[in-house]
Amino acid sequence: MNVAALPAHKSSLASAFLELTKLRISGASTFTAAAGYIAFRRGADAGLVTTLLGILLLAMGASALNEFQERHLDAQMPRTWNRPLPRGEFTPAGAVIIATTLALAGFLVLLFAHNWTAAWLGALAMAWYNGFYTPLKRVSAFAVVPGSLIGALPPAIGWAAAGGPIHDPTILTLAFVFFIWQVPHFWLLVALHAEGYEEAGFPTLVTVFGRRRLARLTFTWICGTAAACGLLPVFRVLATAPALLILAGAALWLLIGSIPLLKDDLNARMFRRVFMNINLFALLLTAAVILDPFLAR
């Protein structure tokens, strides 16, 4: 597809800022951080607000920096060609200033409102995303496997901000589940947009395996994600019957909804449906962890 021939869509400055900082994705990371905080405190307090603020600012800064790093590649892909930088609503230098300001503000909020551990974990998440995963995507179709550490860090940051030790098996288990979840989540996105990625120069597993084998590999990882959820009650991430029922129902629903990945007649609509399912599963998992201490009262 010749994206240069498509009409550009202009938006308000506020809307362009929210696009640049990927508020929806940044907000999802912040939501999982709330699970880590509440899991340690077994409840919520005023510290949750500063934790979420710090993580949101860091995530928005990392997202803006990512759009700066990939602005030339984004301009070549149908999925991303109309982002704020390709359409000229921010200059590259302006995007870097925004990213740096947001990230520094988030780091300082976590440091002064909480502790060094939370702040440095936040810095690690940004360094891993922008300094390791983003450039690795250009050279390896398997970049998401080590890159999925990014999905595991937000709940660990929330846990640390609440005062929890990061070597505790409880938070390591929760972080592990989000790590496993991140891989099939991205592979479903690749299956939907492989041609656009490849035209922009990103290697993809569709080229390596083909869509049919990638779909089966993704289903295997989804099974692993569902199985990993069995560790959550073992390591006391969840303890109440209602939260466990939410988790079990979400895992079973995810597995059943992913069975079409094993069929031969694969299509974009099916991949999109499973992609939405795995996102909803993460939402239900996070909600179960957040609700668990309140359901115990």
8 Å CB contact between 3 and 81: yes
Could you state, in order of their start, the residue ranges of all structural domains in the chain? 13-295
Distance CA 42, CA 83 (A): 40
Cα–Cα nearest to 185, from 291, 264, 285: 285
Distance CA 295, CA 239 (A): 9
- pLDDT truncated to tens, each residue of the chain (297 aa)? 445 444 555 668 888 888 889 988 888 889 999 999 999 999 999 999 999 999 999 999 999 999 999 888 878 877 777 888 888 888 999 999 999 999 999 999 999 999 999 999 999 999 999 999 999 999 998 998 999 999 999 999 999 999 999 999 999 999 999 999 999 999 998 888 888 888 878 888 888 888 899 999 999 999 999 999 999 999 999 999 999 999 999 999 999 999 999 988 888 899 999 999 999 999 999 999 999 999 887
Torsion of CA 203, 205, 209, 215, to 10 degrees: -160
- Own/partner contacts of 145-152, CB < 8 Å, gap of 24 or more, are 145/183, 147/182, 147/186, 148/179, 148/180, 148/182, 148/183, 148/186, 149/179, 150/125, 150/182, 151/29, 151/32, 151/178, 151/179, 151/181, 151/182, 151/185, 152/176, 152/178, 152/179, 152/182
Q: Which amino acid, one-letter code, is at 39?
A: A
Distance CA 98, CA 69 (A): 13
**CATH T-level fold of 13-295:** Farnesyl Diphosphate Synthase (1.10.600)
> Which residue is it, tokens 């996102």?
279
Residue 5: per-residue pLDDT: 45
